[in-house]
Amino acid sequence: MAGWLRPLAGTLLLLEVAAAVSFLHHRYEEMVRALFRVQSECPYVTRIYSIGRSVEGRHLYVLEFSDYPGIHEPLEPEFKYVGNMHGNEVLGRELLLQLSEFLCEEYRRGSERVTRLLHDTRIHIMPSMNPDGYEVAAKQGPDGIGYLTGRNNANGVDLNRNFPDLNTFMYYSGEISGPNHHIPLPDNWKSQVEPETLAVIQWIGSYNFVLSANLHGGAVVANYPYDKSQDQRFRSHRRTANTPTPDDKLFQKLAKTYSYAHGWMHRGWNCGDYFVDGITNGASWYSLSKGMQDFNYLYTNCFEITLELSCNKFPPKEDLERQWMANREALVAFIEEIHQGIKGMVTDKNNNGIAGAVISVQGISHDVTSGEMGDYFRLLLPGTYTVTASAEGYQPQTVTATVGPAAPSLVHFQLKQDMVKKAPERKASGTRTNNKTLQKKVVPRSVRRGTQR
């Protein structure tokens, strides 16, 4: 390169970097350009796809980070962030755009931490689940915005009250000891949800997500399931109806990971409210029905928490950089939490993956299932566990697994076919057995190849 071009090239690079990290509120078109800019800067580790459209036809874009974009690699867990579910709660949207830029830039400069994260994790980032609501809120801006303006989608529906109510099925059909994993959807569920909700349900049914967070505003706290109280008589009272999941201690640890990595969430006193360690059980705060957080836990393999990130739902642009610095480490540290517990392959005797195998942990009444390739992921705290893998047409297998504080333990299962015993053979000398026709050997049932939840 000619000598006189080098200063010009350097100046252009600085301008490009400055533009990329500007702290601004992004309208829909600007958000889309920001996503595609990241994809063009890191083309070999990113992919952009749309899971559907909003009521007004805006794409629900997702930016994926992976060393093999668009491909699920066996034993590599899937993670997701969802922002801007409420259109007027905008900080999560901006933080996820900043996170996307950060991951790309850190990967390009050779950061060992980010490179390892992208090589070992498939990360999906949706900055806005409610782009229509955002546009309504953004027209007024941070100064003139009403508290609820733009919260709902274009049909006036709160998307975080729009998922099928699987909690009620669990609480009242099977009581608290009833099924609380992979609960089937009601037959008419599609007619009861909004286009954005439908797109998300189909999305999380297409990927075997393991860990997730949805980003909100209006408080500063890490909220974990269940959101809906078992006893709805308590729904109007705050902090009176703690309703834990079977994975309550794990969820508390996940929430604390974000809270203590955040600039001030862990202090507890925020927005005129107090939460010990900056975390709360959702139903203990207030009961919420038909929310996305509980739906993830009850319908899929995914463990999701809700992150309330700012007292001001639409903070001024001057506050965005401070908020990014407060959340940057927490956003990365929370993704890293996906690498704990146990994971492995469930295969048959020929090493073919078995999809839909159920992974049960003794003492924790919440199961997960294997994906289409036969790989499974079960988040667990450090300890020793009795784990069973079972699948239709196979004999279950039980092992003891020890989980350490760092990387997940590899626990593989190879299941044997469940052969039905042969019927008694005819006796010698031509005599008959009770004059009945002898049964034929029954052919073993084939494995039901289920799809990922």
Same-domain check for residues 112 and 221: yes
Please report the pLDDT score of residue 452 as a whole number: 30
Asked whether residue 1 is domain-assigned, the answer is no
- For 90-99, the pLDDT digits (tens) are 999 999 999 9
The larger pLDDT score, comparing residue 317 to residue 175, is at 317
Q: Rounded mean pLDDT of 296-312?
A: 97
Alpha-carbon distance 276 to 286, whole Å?
16
Q: Which residues of 338-358 are buried (b: 16+ CB within 10 A; e: fewer)?
A: bbbbbbbbbbbeeeebbbbbb
Answer whether residue 10 is part of any domain: no
Half-sphere exposure of residue 358, counting CA atoms within 13 Å on the CB side? Answer: 16
Confidence of residue 230 (pLDDT cuts 50, 70, 90): confident
Q: Which pLDDT value is given to residue 173?
A: 65
Chosen domain end from 316, 337, 358: 337
Domain CATH number, residue 402: 2.60.40.1120
Q: Give the model's pLDDT for residue 239.
A: 42
Helix (H) or strand (E) holding 321: helix 320-336
| Per-residue model confidence as pLDDT tens digits over 119-150 | 999 999 999 999 999 999 999 877 765 678 99
Residue 417 has pLDDT above 60, yes or no: yes
Sheet holding 364-369, edge to edge: 364-369, 358-361, 383-390, 397-403
Average pLDDT for 411-440: 52
Output the average pLDDT for the chain: 87
- Stretch among 309-323, 385-399, 419-433 having the lowest mean pLDDT: 419-433
Count of structural domains, the chain: 2
> 291 pLDDT band (50/70/90 cuts)?
very high
3-state secondary structure (DSSP) of residue 8: helix
| φ, ψ at 360 (rounded to 5°) | -115, 140
pLDDT of 407 above 80: yes
Among residues 337, 352, 372, the one where a domain terminates is 337
Residue 370 and residue 325 share a domain? no
**383 lies in which domain range?**
342-417
pLDDT at residue 431 greater than cutoff 70 = no
pLDDT per position as a tens digit, 15-65: 444 345 579 999 999 999 999 999 999 999 999 999 999 999 999 999 999
Indicate whether 272 and 309 sit together in one domain: yes
Q: Model confidence at 241, in pLDDT bands (50, 70, 90)? A: confident
* Spatial separation of the C-alpha atoms in residues 353 and 372, rounded to whole Å: 8
| 20 C-beta neighbours (distance < 10 Å), count | 18
Burial of 292 (0-12, 13-18, 19+ CB in 10 A): buried
The DSSP line for 247-314 is THHHHHHHHHHHHHHSSSGGG-EETTEE-GGGEEEHHHH---SS-HHHHHHHHSS-EEEEEEEESSSS
Give the pLDDT band of residue 9 (cuts 50, 70, 90).
very low
Confidence of residue 154 (pLDDT cuts 50, 70, 90): very high
Q: What's 206's domain CATH number?
A: 3.40.630.10
Q: Is residue 257 part of a domain?
A: yes
User: What's the whole-number mean pLDDT along residues 104-117?
Assistant: 98
Of 308, 321, 392, 425, catalytic: 308
In a domain, 444, yes or no: no
Q: Of 337, 361, 390, which closes a domain?
A: 337
- Shared-domain flag, residues 215 and 350: no
Distance (Å, rounded) from C-alpha 305 to C-alpha 26? Answer: 25
**How does residue 313 score in pLDDT terms, banded at 50, 70 and 90?**
very high
Per the domain annotation, does 2 fall within a domain? no
pLDDT beyond 50 at 12: no
Predicted pLDDT of residue 145: 58
The predicted structure's pLDDT at residue 178: 56
Q: How many CB atoms lie within 10 A of CB 288?
A: 22
pLDDT at 449 over 80: no
Residue 276 placed within a domain:
yes
Between β-strands 303-310 and 209-216, what pairing exists: parallel, antiparallel or unpaired? parallel
The residue whose two tokens read 């075997």 is: 208
91: in domain = yes
pTM across the whole model: 0.87
- Examine the domain organization and report whether 308 and 359 are in the same domain: no
d(CA 380, CA 404): 9
Per-residue pLDDT at 176 exceeds 70: no
| Residue 321 falls in the annotated catalytic set | no
Q: Are residues 97 and 244 in the same domain?
A: yes
Quote the pLDDT of residue 289. 93
User: Residue 137: helix, strand or coil by DSSP?
Assistant: helix
The yes-or-no verdict on residue 363 having pLDDT over 90 is yes
For residue 98, what pLDDT is reported? 98
Quote the percentage of the chain above a pLDDT of 90: 78
- Are 310 and 176 in a shared domain? yes
Dihedral angle over CA of 442, 444, 445, 446, nearest 10:
-140
Q: Is the pLDDT of residue 248 over 70?
A: yes
Amino acid at 115: T
Question: pLDDT-derived band of residue 331, with 50, 70 and 90 as boundaries?
Answer: very high
Q: CA-to-CA distance for 260 and 222, rounded, in angstroms?
A: 10
**Predicted local distance difference test score (pLDDT) of residue 435:** 33
Same domain as 294, residue 362: no
Q: Are residues 320 and 367 in the same domain?
A: no
Same domain? For 165 and 82 the reply is: yes
In a domain, 261, yes or no: yes
Residue 13 has pLDDT above 80, yes or no: no
Verify that 246 and 164 share a domain, yes or no.
yes
pLDDT at residue 108 in the model: 97
| Statement to judge: residues 208 and 158 lie in one domain | yes
